Structure 1
Amino acid sequence: MWLLLVLFLPVVQGSSALVAVSDAVSGPARGSLTVQCRYEPGWETYSKWWCRGAEWKDCHILVQTDGSEQEVKSDRTSIRDDQKSLTFTVTMEELRWNDADTYWCGIERSGTDLGVEVQVTINPVTAQCHYGPGWEPYVKSWCPDADLNSCAIVVLTTGSRLRKNELSINQRKHTFSMAMWGE
């Protein structure tokens, strides 16, 4: 028992230098989310990073600072270190359903980097459409583009039957609602 406690203690102490404000965050499909990670004094000029992957050893770094407060952007992800508040912030934009995964806030150092796990989930976007009386038996569709001529339909129903994503129809209220997870 004592041996287990002695072996566990260094791991806990090593990880307390870096903490995520929340260990689970979510954002809407096609929207954005922000993650904040706090660190103890002394780590201000170290490089901070954000990586993706359930296994620490196989984690793929998506964006990384150079040890300054300069914002760094890569693809749909950015990172900025506020050294006065001892916090770095990661922003993920244009979220897609397959962005849901395990991510890590990290600080680069010699030996093993500091890291803390963050779970990211993506919430569906819900839209509700109204139609007039008499249109109940007709096909309902959802198109995210403004130009109907070039629209790629993401939901198509016949009556109340679902073709893609999640759809509900209330014929009494003349509405149909759709939950979409993005692409």
Structure 2
Amino acid sequence: MWLSPVLLLLSFTGCLSIQGPALVRGPEQGSVTVRCGYSSRWQTNRKWWCRGANWSTCRILIRSTGSEKETKVGRFSIRDNHKNNSFQVTMEMLRQNDTDTYWCGIEKFGTDRGTRIRVTVYSVGKDTMSTSKQLSSSTMDSSEDMVSSDLQKRTHYMLLVFLKVPALVILAGVILWLKRSTQKVPEEQWRHTLGSDLDSELLAKDISP
């Protein structure tokens, strides 16, 4: 869509004059607070909160007084903060049909400044159910992990008692047997050598005149 240079300039300066979040969410029957910032030149100007997708036809729900005093109308309140160059709007007792497009605006001579914000109201029941499902799922996972951990520990103990301990005992017995065999062999060889020497000496004595 083609826009004239004048409209483009107004839109650009409006974006620079006031800023706000693109989207905010709040629970049904709860509240939501929207904070919008502006340039310091608009500190004493009145601020407003408007509902409707169309900027030119949106319905103003609440206005500030130009001071920092909070203004409250029904479920809506608005408060300006000159020190921080921002103002905040609070919507209370949210309903499903509050979901809509809103505008943070600055009242001025000529064309007002504004920025569009989408407000979404979600059902607490659905969110609670999904949260409880996640919690129960995580609880089941943790309990399954504990059961598998216990099974692993029991299996380890069973293997330790029935396999590892007897294997260690058998290995120790084999080592001791090998040590004793290595000690007996030299002793038997020494006895055999000593007996051979004695036999040779006796034979020599018998042969000698």
With normalisation by structure 1, the TM-score equals: 0.64
* Whole-angstrom CA distance in 2 between matches of 1:29 and 1:78: 18
Partner of 1:24: 23
RMSD: 2.6
* Whole-angstrom CA distance in 1 between matches of 2:127 and 2:102: 33
Q: Percent of aligned positions with the same letter in both sequences?
A: 47
Q: Rate the CA distance shift 1:25–1:47 in 2: closer, same or farther, 3 A.
A: same
Equivalent residues in 2 for 1:47-62, closer than 5 Å: 47-62=46-61
Alignment check: 8 A CA contact 2:35 2:88 kept = yes
Partner of 1:77: 76
* Whole-angstrom CA distance in 2 between matches of 1:103 and 1:68: 22
Structure 1 stretches lacking a partner, 5+ long: 130-165, 174-183
Find the residue that maps to 2:125 and give its secondary structure: strand
Q: CA deviation at 1:15?
A: 2.1
Find the residue that maps to 1:57 and give its secondary structure: coil
1:87 aligned onto 2:86: yes
Q: CA deviation at 1:76?
A: 0.3
Find the residue that maps to 1:42 and give its secondary structure: helix
Bigger strand fraction: 1
Partner of 1:15: 15
Q: CA deviation at 1:12?
A: 1.2
Structure 2 stretches lacking a partner, 5+ long: 137-209
Q: Rate the CA distance shift 1:96–1:13 in 2: closer, same or farther, 3 A.
A: same
**Bigger radius of gyration:** 2
Bigger helix fraction: 2
* Whole-angstrom CA distance in 1 between matches of 2:26 and 2:17: 27
Q: CA deviation at 1:13?
A: 2.5
One-letter amino acid matched to 1:16: L
Alignment check: 8 A CA contact 2:14 2:114 kept = no
Partner of 2:37: 38
Q: CA deviation at 1:9?
A: 4.4
Q: CA deviation at 1:126?
A: 1.9
